[in-house]
């Protein structure tokens, strides 16, 4: 069940604030085994479920929440190990894509959101969201897709060396967990318009120790590259199901200066969802909502308003 009061992890991270443009009251949800997730539940109306990736957290979606919550109910979870959610060790939680989908399923089930859900995804949020949608296909009525994937690495795309280093080497483990290289690096290299120091601090605030960086590493290690990887079966199913969403409204917002989710991933979505509205930016990076919030927030709002449920 959810609770209105902050738990220890939420309070600890928020104490590092204030975080710009994050005037929210996070809630908490026990996903089982005494592990609590943090999530935002802002506004009223048709629900928009916003799913972040790695190494960000619900903070990524803050400006879209502010732009929608007067008319839409914005549900924005922090995945286990991320943001304001608990950060259990490996003996308490299995850091896999399947666990993420199960977490999301339990959370959304507890909120009684009904059958008119808009799914907004970024980065790993795509694999998690479309993994969840395999079971709830008919409930997903609209899609908002930002620099993400719901399918394995395209054949024409080489695995970026930075991810390979983190996924497959002890050096990568040391850099990510010892020096916070992944989260800190993303605040600099994930945008073209430099973040303010306060925004940078907000992005890295949850990941302030070796123990609290466990999920940023486990996400990288869970990247599915072949059928032998744990996440592969679920991602393969999501890939096959993606074209079945072509009959409902979709919005694609994309920063082309993303060294991971580049034009190869964009083409995966545009080919599967040929009727999708597109806003493509040649001067935006992976954190496209940081670089282009002024354009994207009103564009997404207009898209939702023009496709009522």
Q: What's the average model confidence in pLDDT over 264-288? A: 98
The token pair at 244 is 């079945």
Domain residue spans of the chain: 2-306
Q: What's the average model confidence in pLDDT over 127-135? A: 98
Tell me, what's the pLDDT at 4?
63
Check pLDDT > 90 for residue 218: yes
Tell me, what's the pLDDT at 301?
98
Instruction: Tell me phi and psi for residue 65, to 5 degrees.
Output: -60, -45
Q: What's the pTM?
A: 0.97
Check pLDDT > 90 for residue 161: no
Tell me, what's the pLDDT at 282?
98
Check pLDDT > 50 for residue 84: yes
Rounded Cα–Cα distance for residues 183 and 107 (Å)? 25
Tell me, what's the pLDDT at 3?
56
Check pLDDT > 90 for residue 277: yes
| Most distant CA pair in the chain, distance | 49
Local structure of 128: helix, strand or coil: helix
pLDDT band of residue 1 (cuts 50, 70, 90) is very low
pLDDT band of residue 2 (cuts 50, 70, 90) is low
Distances (CA, A) of 252 to 56, 87, 91, 248, 276: 20, 31, 38, 13, 7
Q: What's the average model confidence in pLDDT over 87-105? A: 98
pLDDT band of residue 262 (cuts 50, 70, 90) is very high
Instruction: Tell me phi and psi for residue 119, to 5 degrees.
Output: -105, 120
- The Cβ of residue 91 has, within 10 Å, a number of other Cβ atoms equal to 6
Q: Could you give the percent of the chain with pLDDT greater than 70? A: 99
CATH top-level class for 2-306? alpha beta
Q: What's the average model confidence in pLDDT over 208-233? A: 97
pLDDT band of residue 295 (cuts 50, 70, 90) is very high
Burial of 129 (0-12, 13-18, 19+ CB in 10 A): buried
Check pLDDT > 90 for residue 65: yes
Burial of 130 (0-12, 13-18, 19+ CB in 10 A): buried
Per-residue DSSP letter, 176: I
Per-residue DSSP letter, 60: G
């Amino acid at each position: 069940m959810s609770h209105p009061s902050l738990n220890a992890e939420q309070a600890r991270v928020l104490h590092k604030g204030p975080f710009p443009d994050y005037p929210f009251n996070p809630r908490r949800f026990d996903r089982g085994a005494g592990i609590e997730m943090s999530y935002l539940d802002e506004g009223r109306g048709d629900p928009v479920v916003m799913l972040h990736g790695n190494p960000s957290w619900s903070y990524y979606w803050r400006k879209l929440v502010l732009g929608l919550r007067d008319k839409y109910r914005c549900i924005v979870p922090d995945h286990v190990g991320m943001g304001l959610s608990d950060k259990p060790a490996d003996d308490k939680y299995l850091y896999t894509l399947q666990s993420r989908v199960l977490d999301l399923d339990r959370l959304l089930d507890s909120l009684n959101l009904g059958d008119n859900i808009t799914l907004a995804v970024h980065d790993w949020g795509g694999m998690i969201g479309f993994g969840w949608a395999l079971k709830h296909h008919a409930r997903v009525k609209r899609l908002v897709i930002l620099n993400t994937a719901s399918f394995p690495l395209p054949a024409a795309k080489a695995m970026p060396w930075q991810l390979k280093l983190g996924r497959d080497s002890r050096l990568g483990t040391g850099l990510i967990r010892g020096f916070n290289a992944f989260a800190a690096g993303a605040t600099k290299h994930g945008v073209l318009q430099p973040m303010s120091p306060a925004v940078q601090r907000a992005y890295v605030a949850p990941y302030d120790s070796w123990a609290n960086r466990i999920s940023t590493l486990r996400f990288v290690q869970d990247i599915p590259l072949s059928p032998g990887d744990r996440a592969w079966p679920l991602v393969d199913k999501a890939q096959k199901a993606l074209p079945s969403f072509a009959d409902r409204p979709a919005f694609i917002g994309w920063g082309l200066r993303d060294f991971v989710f580049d034009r190869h991933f964009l083409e995966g979505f545009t080919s599967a969802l040929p009727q999708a509205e597109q806003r493509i930016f040649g001067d935006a990076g992976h954190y496209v909502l940081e670089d282009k919030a002024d354009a994207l927030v009103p564009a997404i709002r207009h898209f939702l308003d023009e496709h009522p449920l």
